[in-house]
Amino acid sequence: MKQDQNYLWWQSGIIYQVYPRSFQDSDGDGVGDLCGIISRLDYLKWLGITAVWVSPIYPSPMADFGYDISDYCGIHPLFGTMDDFDKLLKEVHKRDMKLILDLVPNHTSHKHAWFEESRSSKDSPKRDWYIWQDAQEDGSEPNNWLSVFGGSAWEWDKQTEQYYYHAFLKEQPDLNWRNPEVQQAMFDVMRFWLDKGVDGFRVDVMWHMIKDEKLRDNPANPDYKAHQATYEQLIPAYSTDQPEIHNIVAKMREVTDAYEERVLIGEIYLPVHRLVTYYGQNNNGAHLPFNFTLITLDWDARSISSHVDEYEGALPEGGWPNWVIGNHDQPRITSRIGREQAKVAAMLLLTLRGTPTLYYGDELGMRDVPIPADRIQDPQGLNMPDKDLSRDPARTPMQWSEKDYAGFTTTEPWLPLPNNYQRVNVEVQKEDQYSMLSFYRRLIKLRQQEPALHVGDYQPVITSGPLVAYTREKDGKKFMVVLNLSHKPCTLKEEHQHYTGKVVLATDPEREGEAVKGSFNLYGDEGILVELAKSMAY
Question: Measured from the CB of residue 377, what is the shortest distance to ligand GLC in angstroms?
Answer: 12
CA atoms within 13 A on the CB side of 156: 7
Q: What would the DSSP string read from start to end of 90-154?
A: HHHHHTT-EEEEEE--SB--TTSHHHHHHHH-TT-TTGGGB-EEPPPTTS--SS--B-TTSSBSE
Among candidate residues 257, 315, 326, 249, the one with its CA nearest the CA of residue 285: 249
Listed in sequence order, the DSSP H helices in 385-537 are 426-430, 436-449, 451-454
The one catalytic residue in 171, 204, 525, 531 is: 204
Pairing label, strands 355-359, 15-18 = parallel
Question: Measured from the CB of residue 392, what is the shortest distance to ligand GLC in angstroms?
Answer: 12
φ, ψ (nearest 5 deg) of residue 100 = -115, 130
Give the sign of the dihedral formed by CA 142, CA 146, CA 147, CA 149: positive
- Cβ-based nearer residue to ligand GLC, 212 or 329: 329
Provide the CA 387 distance to its chain's centre, in angstroms.
23
Q: Does 329 bind ligand GLC (CB under 6 A)?
A: yes
Question: Measured from the CB of residue 169, what is the shortest distance to ligand GLC in angstroms?
Answer: 8
One character per residue 137-176, x = contact with ligand GLC (rule: CB under 6 A): -------------------------------x--------
- Cβ-based nearer residue to ligand GLC, 112 or 447: 112
One character per residue 405-424, x = contact with ligand GLC (rule: CB under 6 A): --------------------
Q: Does 204 bind ligand GLC (CB under 6 A)?
A: yes
- Residue 96 burial (CB count, 10 A): 10
Question: Measured from the CB of residue 380, what is the shortest distance to ligand GLC in angstroms?
Answer: 7
* Sites for ligand GLC among residues 38-67 (CB under 6 A): 64, 67
The one catalytic residue in 25, 84, 102, 267 is: 267
Q: Does 205 bind ligand GLC (CB under 6 A)?
A: yes
- Cβ-based nearer residue to ligand GLC, 171 or 531: 171
Beta bridge partner(s), residue 288:
265
- Give the binding-site size for ligand GLC (rule: CB under 6 A): 9
Among candidate residues 305, 346, 319, the one with its CA nearest the CA of residue 442: 346
The H or E element spanning position 265 is strand 263-266
- Cβ-based nearer residue to ligand GLC, 265 or 503: 265
- Cβ-based nearer residue to ligand GLC, 78 or 468: 78
CA separation, residue 267 to residues 122, 287, 526 (Å): 33, 12, 31
267 belongs to the catalytic site? yes
Contacts by 428-433, CB closer than 8 A, 24 or more apart: 428/401, 428/402, 429/364, 433/509
- Cβ-based nearer residue to ligand GLC, 341 or 383: 383
Question: Measured from the CB of residue 72, what is the shortest distance to ligand GLC in angstroms?
Answer: 13
Convert 267-296 to b/e letters by CB count within 10 Å (16 or more is b).
Answer: bbbbeeeebbbbbbeeeebbbbbbbbbbbe
Polymer length in residues for the chain: 538
Pairing label, strands 457-460, 467-474 = antiparallel
CA separation, residue 202 to residues 99, 114, 294 (Å): 11, 22, 19
- Using CA atoms in the order 530, 534, 536, 538, what is the torsion angle rounded to 10 degrees? 130
Q: Does 275 bind ligand GLC (CB under 6 A)?
A: no
Residue pair 505/528 in contact (Cβ under 8 Å)? The answer is yes
- Cβ-based nearer residue to ligand GLC, 232 or 329: 329
- Cβ-based nearer residue to ligand GLC, 67 or 193: 67
One character per residue 289-328, x = contact with ligand GLC (rule: CB under 6 A): ---------------------------------------x
Question: Measured from the CB of residue 205, what is the shortest distance to ligand GLC in angstroms?
Answer: 5
Provide the CA 471 distance to its chain's centre, in angstroms.
25
- Cβ-based nearer residue to ligand GLC, 383 or 435: 383
Residue nearest to ligand GLC (CB): 67
Residue pair 425/400 in contact (Cβ under 8 Å)? The answer is yes
Question: Measured from the CB of residue 378, what is the shortest distance to ligand GLC in angstroms?
Answer: 8
Q: Does 72 bind ligand GLC (CB under 6 A)?
A: no
Pairing label, strands 200-203, 515-517 = unpaired
Q: What would the DSSP string read from start to end of 500-512?
A: EEEEEEESSGGGT
Question: Measured from the CB of residue 139, what is the shortest distance to ligand GLC in angstroms?
Answer: 28
* Sites for ligand GLC among residues 342-401 (CB under 6 A): none
Q: Does 15 bind ligand GLC (CB under 6 A)?
A: no
Question: Measured from the CB of residue 107, what is the shortest distance to ligand GLC in angstroms?
Answer: 7
Q: Does 4 bind ligand GLC (CB under 6 A)?
A: no
Between CA 275 and CA 253 the distance in angstroms is 17
Q: What would the DSSP string read from start to end of 37-82?
A: HHHTHHHHHHHT--EEEE---S----TTTTSS-S-TTS--TTT--H
Question: Measured from the CB of residue 329, what is the shortest distance to ligand GLC in angstroms?
Answer: 5
Which sequence positions are flagged as catalytic?
204, 267
What does the binding site for ligand GLC look like in residue numbers (CB under 6 A)? 64, 67, 104, 168, 204-205, 267, 328-329
